[in-house]
Amino acid sequence: MATQVVMEALSPTMEEGRLVEWKKQEGEQVAAGDVLAEVETDKAVMELVARVSGVLLRQTVKAGQTVPVSTPVAVIGAPGEAVAAGNGAGAEGAKRAAGAAPAESAAGTPDRSQAPAAPPGPPPAARTSATPAPKAATAPPSPALSPSPAPTSAPGARVKASPLARRIAAEKGLDLHGVQGSGPEGRVVLRDLERAAPVPPPSAPAPRAAPLPGALQTATEPSRPAPAPSPIVPAGAAYADVPLTQLRKTIARRLVQSIGPIPTFYLTSEADMERVAEAREAMLDADRPTSGLGSEVKVSFNDILIKAVATALRQHPACNAWWQDDHIRYWADVHIGMAVAVEEGLITPVIRHADRKTLREIAAEARDLAARARARRLAAEDYTGATFSISNLGMLDIEEFTAVINPPEAAILAVGRIGPKPVEHDGQVALRRRMRLTMSCDHRVIDGATGARFLQTLTGMLENPLAMVW
């Protein structure tokens, strides 16, 4: 009997998807697990796979169409099997589905406009909120509460592993079933692969030739000069109407939800970055290879900032929180979202347990996530679950700005450029490399003094990097 293929919810917050490209054509044999099509969700381009084997009898949605979740898009059956009139959406049904207005999201996804879900685990009871929270799960336990590492997995069982560990294991040809995970709930992480066998360095952007003086190098920097943008309005035309992408729809919806209901206030501080710059230069000069990562992984200012923010949040857990309408959720673990500009807008991949990772681990993971974000190849777990976000425009020579909070997070940090500035130092006026930090705070969660103390700790760590390892 013929089986309908429907538009699946390929991410936790997906309500509709745009069918980018069919990978199988009508009349082709397919097996369960084969990729039928590529689908653009609200955050990434993902694969729609066949759940049964047979022949692709009909495509009921054309490439380029956007349809709600659960809409039939194809029919799979036996060779020569007739497709019943009601089996599949049909051309008219697909048109109606594509034109139907989707229901408003109960849990949108943030970047600037993104509300992350928590790391995998059983979801808590749903609660009604003026600012909808994502389908969140309990965070992995902190180190003091972590259970003993899980034993190695049996062959054929799915292994819990971080995306970076999976990719490096695939490049090295390592079987994750034979690796004992030391992460939360037995999750295999990069350090486990380092102990198992030498691991090749993850692909990193090619080093830039001489950055601009004082420019803030981040994981979101392009590795080569950006190509000249294509004209949006064709030559001779008065205007061009461009349909919204799934990502841009989510950004628009989440910005309205964030700016309107959230009582936001802003705190600005300035950090002396001389010692951080000297420490980074010393690390680059030493260029010591690290097992499993190698000398190709260069620590950027942004990597140091992520580590400093995560460490400061450990001392100020009141800022590591979500607003949940009738309660505040304080997280035991620190997961930092880093805003990455992509062609269609902005997305915020997550560095999990950033406070527990070394600078080189953060650098490798940040580059991997940023590269996959630009390629629209992030999995849902890569961009959901942040407890605090950072938006950095320093590389674009922006001195200072304010960022929009990613609900349900309680704060986001906006980072400006590092540049020379005449200031008083040791009783004299001197040129010092300085950086401005602006923290957007949800006043329902964070009071002014609470946010100010966090910024005071953060600037202290940046001005004395040794404070990060005390």
Domain ranges of the chain: 3-99, 143-196, 254-469
Q: What percent of the chain has pLDDT over 70?
A: 68
Among 159, 219, 163, residue whose Cα is nearest residue 383: 163
CB 385 within 8 A of CB 184: no
For domain 143-196, give the fold.
Dihydrolipoamide Transferase (4.10.320)
pLDDT of residue 433: 95
Report the C-alpha gap between 35 and 28 in whole angstroms.
12
pLDDT of residue 120: 40
pLDDT of residue 467: 82
Tokens at residue 457, please? 């700790």
| DSSP designation for 385 | -
Among 124, 165, 69, 112, residue whose Cα is nearest residue 379: 165
316 is catalytic: no
pTM recorded for the entire structure: 0.55
Encode the chain (470 residues) as per-residue pLDDT tens digits: 788 999 998 877 788 888 989 999 998 999 988 889 989 887 778 889 899 999 999 999 999 888 998 999 999 988 888 776 555 444 443 443 344 333 333 333 334 334 344 444 333 333 333 333 343 433 333 333 333 344 455 555 567 776 667 767 776 677 777 787 776 567 777 667 766 654 444 444 444 443 333 333 333 444 445 555 566 777 877 767 777 777 777 767 766 666 678 889 999 999 999 999 999 988 887 765 554 444 567 899 999 999 999 999 999 999 999 988 888 999 999 999 999 988 778 899 999 999 999 999 999 999 999 999 988 888 888 999 999 999 999 999 999 999 999 999 999 999 999 999 999 988 899 999 999 999 999 999 999 999 999 999 999 999 999 888 76
Concatenate the DSSP letters of all residues of 162-229 into one string.
Answer: -HHHHHHHHHHT--GGGS---SGGG-B-HHHHHHHS--PPPP-PPPPSSPPTT----TTS-SSPPPPP
pLDDT of residue 154: 54
Residue in 177, 316, 425, 443 annotated catalytic:
443
Among 166, 185, 109, residue whose Cα is nearest residue 353: 185
Please, what CATH class does the domain formed by 3-99 belong to?
Answer: mainly beta
pLDDT of residue 338: 96
pLDDT of residue 81: 82
Residue located via tokens 């857990």: 317
Please, what CATH class does the domain formed by 254-469 belong to?
Answer: alpha beta
Asked whether the domain spanning 254-469 has the same topology as the one spanning 143-196, the reply is: no
CB 190 within 8 A of CB 361: yes
Residues 60-85 pLDDT 10s: 999 988 899 899 999 998 888 877 65
Q: How far apart are the first and last CA of the chain?
A: 66
C-beta neighbour count of 69 within 10 angstroms: 15
pLDDT of residue 363: 93
